[in-house]
Each structure stands twice: as C-alpha cells, then as structure tokens.
C-alpha cells in the first residue's frame, strides 16, 4: 500500500487537493486526507499529481541505413521514466518487412528490457487489394493488441505508399477499429526538390528546409484527409510541424474530415536557424519534418491551447554525434549531403516538462497539459481503460511533478543514450519529483531506481480512434488484454 499525500491532483476533469491510495499495481482511492495508517507515504506537498505521461511516438532501437537510433527499449524507457513518462507506443517495423516479422522483431527488442509499459503501432507499406484479405489482416493486428498503424506518404525508396494503398488501409482499418496515422509529406515532391538542390551543390544541412518546406506537409495532409473523408475514416496526422499543415487540417475538418493531429516539442521550441551553424553542429538538429520558422512555432502553441491539436508526442529518435557524422550510407566514413544525416532528435525524457513550460507561460491550463500528454493519447490509442487518468481501478501510473524544480536540459543531466541535446541551452522549471509505474516508484528526483529493465509490460490495446477506444458498432473484432 502506498499513499501519495498532500498534492494537487490534476487531470482534465480539474484540479483538486487530494491523496491517492495505491494497492499493488492499481489506484484504489482518490480523495482528501485519506487514512494512510499502515501504508508507505510519498509526500507530494506543493506538487502536482498527474497521470503518467504517454508518448505515442518513439523509435527505439531502429536501424536507419548504416546506423541505428541510440536508445534501445531499456535505456529509452528508463529515460522516459525519469522524465515522467510511464507508457510509450513505439513504431514496429524498419522498412517493407511483413508485419508478422516486424511485430516479432519488436517484441524481441522490448521483452525483458522495458522499464515501463509499452505498446506498438505497425508501419504498413502494403495492403492486399482483396477487401476480405485486407480486412483479415487488420483484424489480425487487433488480435495482436495493435490497434494503430502508420503509413508514410514520404520516403519513396523505403516506406512510401500510394493513394490507392492508403485508401484500402483506411477502409480496412476503420472497420477493424484500427486508427490510421500518416506521416504527411509529399514524398515525390520532397525527392524532386532534393535532387534539384543536390544538383545545384546545396548539400549542407540548411538545404533540408528547402527540400521539405511546409507546403509539402500541407499538400499531404490535404490528400490524406480527402481520402479519409471519402471513406468515412478518422485520420491521425503524426508530427505536424507547420502553420500551413495546421491550416490544411482546419480546412479538412471544415470539409467534414475527422482529422486528429499531434505535434512534437522540437516544433514548439526549435527553429530552422539551428541548421545554419557549422555542419557538425547543425547535423544535431536534423529531423523530418524539418524545424520551421517562429511563426510556425507560435501557430502550433496556439493550436495546443485551443484544442485544434490533440496530443504532443516526441518522435524520439536520437543518434550519437559519431553516428550523425558517420551518416546513413553504408561504407561511407562521413555524410556528404544532408540526405545522409540520420534524422531524429532525443525527446522521450524531456516532453512532459517542455509542454509544462506552456503552462508557465500562460499558453495552456494545467488540465490541458495533462490532456495533451496523457489523457488524449490514452483515449485515442486504446489505453483509456487502464491509463490516462487518476481514478480508482486505473493502473497506478502517477507522476508527482514539482512545478518549481529547475533542470538544465543538457545531455549530461539526462539519461537518453546520446551525447548531445537539442535543448542544451535551455533550463526548464518543473520536473518530476517521482514517477510511479503500476505502483512502483521507478524514478525519484529525475534519477532512475535500480533494477527496472524487464518490468515493463506489453499493452495489448483494444480499438483505437476518436470514439475513445470503443470498437466500431457491428465490428467482429476480438479483444485481448495485457
Ligand atoms: Mn517518427
């Protein structure tokens, strides 16, 4: 028995002074001045007590050409716990391998290593043309506890799907209770621009902004949302990065499309001028979509406050300096063009606090902060029966968040397995004092407890989607639990 005493419980319902009693792995009681006799007490005086954060966009142990993302399921989930995240959904699949193989490989990567609970999305690169076969495949995903997929409209050589494939996926997925996520960039246009830039000798990191401008994000959002509206499917846009992309989301909604969208801290805190420094330094800021302008940052913050964006995830995909220098091309000792710099930033440890800076700045209410980082991700991705709120019966995934603690976000103060931090010059106010995962304290004062590897469990999810994870009416999909 553990009682979290004297804090302010915050969830989207509101904020109130309350204690939280935990028995084993579950929350059993929430209320003022609970009897703590015989229980271990965790003092939360002066702190916010919030549901553990959920990061629905990570890439642990992901091979990218000659290199691999630096965090595996052990180091990545330990870092997550230190920063207040108690559940991640990682993208299973590295390319065009069959889903059975991708899922088996990702289970092997995570099993026995994860410190916190985890689920998988599957990356889908092909969908059977026969509707019965397509339906069966998506129902198999659900039977495996995977109720969300991602399709890429970019990267023609590795991952991109055409419109017909996306349409088949939307139809089959929605019937099965699977939410379709898209990486929204017009990949053919990005490749055309890239070839043009390289031919003109523009190989430096800053050229990335010209190769992948906001218009190609907006175009892909429009195309995907149009298809989704046609077939009556919801659509979740990952890592929305620009004001133009946001405008495309608004237009699609006005035309009747059910579009959900997330953004990531890098698009809220960093801008494209970071790509203009010395090449090796600039390389540390390469991600896709690329960093944008200040006006984009502003638009995204406003959309988080207004409810136009549903969630903040990270797209956590860190690399070491050495691997960034080496580049993705096999056999090359060093990258020779921006296209060969492995793209992705560390983020799984810093998201909860970075979004909290929006509360400090008056851009977000505390309730909205919790909604964006925990409750909405749980609801949209089929975890709301176990996670995303502080109420009896839920998993005891709880963060005691000290709103006054300060932390400098340099690589040495953090636990992600990389030697550089895109926020190295930033000191945040507000950091987890304690992170509890299914009843166990897994981090204290931003430092991990010992012996965490392997205690995280695979979360078999039921239906995902804007209906809040309920299977669609009349569906014959099986359910399973973790
Ligand atoms: Mn990603």
* Residue 265 alpha carbon to ligand 1 centre in Å: 13
- Strands of the sheet containing 311-312, edge to edge, are 53-58, 85-92, 117-123, 148-152, 179-183, 235-237, 259-263, 311-312
Closest listed residue to residue 189, CA positions, set 157, 163, 218, 154 = 154
Question: In 10 A of CB 362, how many CB atoms?
Answer: 8
Domain check: are 196 and 335 in the same one?
yes
Report CA dihedral (2, 81, 469, 141) to the nearest 10 degrees: -120
Q: Which residues contact 266 (CB under 8 A, 6 or more apart)?
A: 287, 291, 315, 345, 347, 422
Cis peptide before 289 (omega within 30 of 0): yes
* Residue 57 alpha carbon to ligand 1 centre in Å: 6
Question: What is the domain-level CATH number for residue 15?
Answer: 2.30.40.10
* Residue 12 alpha carbon to ligand 1 centre in Å: 27
Domain check: are 41 and 65 in the same one?
no
Domain check: are 77 and 24 in the same one?
no
Q: DSSP character for 44?
A: -
Q: Which residue has the tokens 């991952």?
A: 159
The model carries a pTM of 0.96
* Residue 63 alpha carbon to ligand 1 centre in Å: 13
Domain check: are 132 and 225 in the same one?
yes
* Residue 59 alpha carbon to ligand 1 centre in Å: 7
Domain check: are 6 and 116 in the same one?
no
* C-beta separation of 341 from 335 below 8 A: yes
* Residue 4 alpha carbon to ligand 1 centre in Å: 35
Question: What is the domain-level CATH number for residue 375?
Answer: 3.20.20.140
Encode the chain (482 residues) as per-residue pLDDT tens digits.
999 999 999 998 899 999 999 999 999 999 999 999 999 999 999 999 999 999 999 999 999 999 999 999 999 999 999 999 999 999 999 999 999 999 999 999 999 999 999 999 999 999 999 999 999 999 999 999 999 999 999 999 899 999 999 999 999 999 999 999 999 999 999 999 999 999 999 999 999 999 999 999 999 999 999 999 999 999 999 999 999 999 999 999 999 999 999 999 999 999 999 999 999 999 999 999 999 999 999 999 999 999 999 999 999 999 999 999 999 998 878 999 999 999 999 999 999 999 999 999 999 999 999 999 999 999 999 999 999 999 999 999 999 999 999 999 999 999 999 999 999 999 999 999 999 999 999 999 999 999 998 999 999 998 888 875 444 443 433 333 33
* C-beta separation of 373 from 52 below 8 A: no
* Residue 76 alpha carbon to ligand 1 centre in Å: 15
Domain check: are 26 and 110 in the same one?
no
* Residue 221 alpha carbon to ligand 1 centre in Å: 16
> Is 481 contained in some domain?
no
* Residue 287 alpha carbon to ligand 1 centre in Å: 9
Domain count, the chain: 2
* Residue 378 alpha carbon to ligand 1 centre in Å: 18
Domain check: are 213 and 292 in the same one?
yes
Q: Which domain holds residue 232?
A: 52-380
> Is 207 contained in some domain?
yes
């Amino acid at each position: 028995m553990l009682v979290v005493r004297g804090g302010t419980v915050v969830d989207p319902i509101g904020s109130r002074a309350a204690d939280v009693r935990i028995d084993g792995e579950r929350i059993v009681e929430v209320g003022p001045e609970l009897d703590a006799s015989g229980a271990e007490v965790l003092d939360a005086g002066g702190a916010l007590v919030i549901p553990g954060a959920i990061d629905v966009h990570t890439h642990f142990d992901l091979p990218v050409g000659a290199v691999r993302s630096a965090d595996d399921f052990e180091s990545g989930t330990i870092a997550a716990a230190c920063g207040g995240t108690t559940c991640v959904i990682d993208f299973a699949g590295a390319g065009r391998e069959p889903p059975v193989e991708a899922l088996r490989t990702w289970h092997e990567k995570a099993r026995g290593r994860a410190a916190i609970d985890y689920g998988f999305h599957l990356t889908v690169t092909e969908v059977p043309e026969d509707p019965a076969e397509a339906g069966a495949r998506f129902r198999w995903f659900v039977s495996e506890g995977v109720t969300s997929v991602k399709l890429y409209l970019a990267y023609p050589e590795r991952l991109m799907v055409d419109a017909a494939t996306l349409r088949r996926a939307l139809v089959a997925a929605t019937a099965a209770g699977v939410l379709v996520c898209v990486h929204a960039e017009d990949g053919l246009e990005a490749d055309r621009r890239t070839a043009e830039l390289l031919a003109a000798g523009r190989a430096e990191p800053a050229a990335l902004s010209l190769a992948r401008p906001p218009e190609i994000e907006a175009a892909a959002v429009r195309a995907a949302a149009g298809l989704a509206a046609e077939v009556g499917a919801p659509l979740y846009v990952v890592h929305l990065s620009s004001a133009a992309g946001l405008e495309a989301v608004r237009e699609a909604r006005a035309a009747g499309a059910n579009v959900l969208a997330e953004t990531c801290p890098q698009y809220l805190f960093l801008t494209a001028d970071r790509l203009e420094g010395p090449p090796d330094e600039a390389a540390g800021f390469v991600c896709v979509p690329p960093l944008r302008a200040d006006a984009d940052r502003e638009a995204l913050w406003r959309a988080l406050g207004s409810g136009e964006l549903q969630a903040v995830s990270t797209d956590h995909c860190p690399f070491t300096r050495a691997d960034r220098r080496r580049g993705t091309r096999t056999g090359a000792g060093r990258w020779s063009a921006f296209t060969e710099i492995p793209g992705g930033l560390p983020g799984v440890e810093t998201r909860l606090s970075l979004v909290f800076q929006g509360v400090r700045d008056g851009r977000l209410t505390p309730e909205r902060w919790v909604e964006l980082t925990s409750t909405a991700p749980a609801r949209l991705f089929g975890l709301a029966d176990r996670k995303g709120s502080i109420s009896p019966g839920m998993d005891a995934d709880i963060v005691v968040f000290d709103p006054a603690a300060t932390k400098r976000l340099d690589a040495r103060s953090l636990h992600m397995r990389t030697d550089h931090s895109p926020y190295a010059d930033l000191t945040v106010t507000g950091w987890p004092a304690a992170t509890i995962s299914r009843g166990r304290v897994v981090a204290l004062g931003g430092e991990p407890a010992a012996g965490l590897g392997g205690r995280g469990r695979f979360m078999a999810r039921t239906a995902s989607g804007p209906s809040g994870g309920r299977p669609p009416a009349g569906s014959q999909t099986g359910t399973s639990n973790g």
